[in-house]
Structure 1
Amino acid sequence: MSEIREMLGGVSRQRASVIANQRNFPEPIAVLAMGKVWRKSDVEKCIKQHRPASLAD
């Protein structure tokens, strides 16, 4: 989730969690004891499509 927060432009942990739980966010590829794991390319694609202003160059 920390990396996703950074990819979203430094949003709060709570906001990143809300975004990650939306229907249009990709499904995690694994759920571990430490939390959910997403493929970076899937998250980047989703952010580019739904939140383009959040992507850092």
Structure 2
Amino acid sequence: MRKLRLLASQEVQELLGVSRTRAYQITNSKSFPDPAAVLSVGRIWLAEDVERWIKDHRPDPQNSEK
């Protein structure tokens, strides 16, 4: 059985390496994945959706220097 990995806004912010305000802007953009759930504590995303979005939309700074 595969383990379900979920991320809240704080974890998304940390993965993106941005401020809370910038993370809010990014997660509200049309290109960002829809949350898997909206709870009383906030929105929750599937980790694989967020990781895929980061791979597709955020260039790796180490690769861009080469």
Q: Which runs of 4+ in 1 moved over 2 A?
A: none
Q: Which runs of 5+ in 1 are unaligned?
A: none
In structure 1, distance between residues paired with 2:45 and 2:29: 14
Identity %: 51
Q: Find the partner of 1:14 among 21, 34, 49.
A: 21
| Structure with a larger share of its residues in strand | 2
In structure 2, distance between residues paired with 1:2 and 1:23: 20
The total of aligned residue pairs comes to 53
CA RMSD of aligned residues (A): 1.2
Q: Which runs of 5+ in 2 are unaligned?
A: 1-8, 62-66
- 2:33 maps to 26
TM-score (norm 2): 0.75
TM-score (norm 1): 0.86
